[in-house]
Amino acid sequence: MPLTLSPWFLLLFAVPVLWLGEGVVRRVPVLSRFNLPVPVVGGLLFSALLLAVNASGLAGLTFATKVSAAWWTWLVTTEIEWAARPLKNLNLPLLVAFFTCVGLGAPVQVLRSGGRALAVLLLTATALAVLQNTVGVALALALGAPPLLGVVCGALTLVGGHGTALGFAPRFEQAGLASAATIGASAATFGLVAGGLLAGPLAEWLLRGRGNTAPGPASVPRETPAAVASFFGDLRALGALGREAVGHALLIAACVKAGAWVSFGLDRAGASLPAYMGALLVGFAVRAAHDAAGGTWLRGEVIARLAAVLLPLFLAVTLAALNLAELAAVAGPMLVILVVNTLVSLAFAAWVVWPLLGRDHEAGVMVAGLVGFGVGSTATAVAAMDAITRRRGPAPRAVALVPPTGGFLIDFTNAPVISAFLQLLR
């Protein structure tokens, strides 16, 4: 008889999953050379182990992923919602806190200096959304499937991710695609795995072909130990920072709470945006005000350390809960469309985006980021970029520009693209 375990076990297993990932990446150097993020490796190995246990017939184990515990959901909900004790994804506070770090960690001057690179990233990501939908619809028609399936397996879930898929699901169901929410969740999960596995290797292939590393003395030698020392090293570093780390963590918590109200307002206004959008915008606003006032107390390196702890925890919890059996059982046409769209996205990034960005170290890291959020999610994009920069050296422009592009700018262009295709295919 199948047994559904409490979601709190996912938090309990998160650190062992990361330990497993780091151990495997250390012992299999090829994983590090291709910039596979530690939490992706550990999470998928844990999911595969769970799949093997279930396939053996010894047990039928799955994890619940939603909680209603008041102490856990308060930070990411308004009091209006919180009073009803809503079910929320266990990983939501980790995700929202991470994107708050993205907002707080993006100096306005760096974003202003983005200029052409930021424009190229946003325009090419939007073009990729159009391309994914076009390929998806064409394949759906060729396979005798509903054309709306091509959009669901296109920009809705690949560029859009889980949040966009769930936000648009009612409109797709009204247009005639039954179970759009379930299909969208499966397709977005496929993208999350594909983005986590492919973004780093593509960038490594592009950079190795041109021998690119970061310029100047900050360049990091290609040593596997440096690439792997991530979560536990960052955790120790935070402990050493003491009160400063606590102060920044409290600020992040305050931004998360304020962001819940911003997201609530955006939702009431009819905006279909990811749950982390409010906190991300609050983080940007706080950082902009800090910089405009000439403040020096907000330290980028502390925020980066906190983000480097939150992101692996989020990915470990998310990927450990994957039911790979359900993913493997994706219907034939859906799987074909997802695979082809993933390959098309990789080709587009390598043959169009890479030359437009300049074929240098920063360009390679940005390409990894674009593939990360263009196929998977912004979280996998940041994880892939982190794996590259730990080995090949810093890429400050890429690290500053990719998260806001994949985190919220693309939502402003992807939503109209999805709506246009939905209107055409009704």
Give the Cα separation of 236 and 245 in Å (integer): 11
- The parent domain of residue 352 ranges over 3-425
Tell me the pLDDT of the chain (426 aa) as tens digits.
567 888 999 999 999 999 998 889 888 888 877 777 788 888 889 988 888 887 777 667 788 888 999 999 999 999 998 988 888 889 889 988 988 887 888 766 666 666 788 899 999 999 999 999 999 999 999 999 889 999 999 999 999 887 678 667 778 888 888 777 778 877 888 888 899 889 999 999 999 876 555 554 443 334 334 444 467 788 888 888 889 999 999 999 999 999 999 989 988 887 766 677 788 889 989 998 998 888 888 888 899 889 888 888 888 888 888 777 766 655 788 999 999 999 999 999 999 999 999 999 999 999 999 999 999 888 889 888 988 998 888 898 898 889 888 877 887 788 889 988 988 887
Enumerate long-range contacts of 365-368, CB under 8 Å, 24 or more apart.
Answer: 365/203, 365/389, 365/395, 365/398, 365/399, 365/402, 366/117, 366/121, 366/395, 366/397, 366/398, 366/401, 366/402, 367/202, 367/203, 367/206, 368/35, 368/199, 368/200, 368/202, 368/203
Cβ-based burial of 194 (10 A; exposed 0-12, middle 13-18, buried ≥19) = buried
Output the 3-class SS for 93-147: HHHHHHHHHHHHCCCHHHHHCCHHHHHHHHHHHHHHHHHHHHHHHHHHHHCCCCH
pTM of the model as a whole: 0.74
Going from the C-alpha of 86 to that of each of 75, 119, 181, 289, the distances in angstroms are: 12, 39, 19, 33
Please, which residues have CB within 8 angstroms of residue 248's CB and are 6 or more apart in sequence? 298, 299, 302, 303, 306
The identity of residue 166, as a single letter, is: L
Question: Count of domains in the chain?
Answer: 1
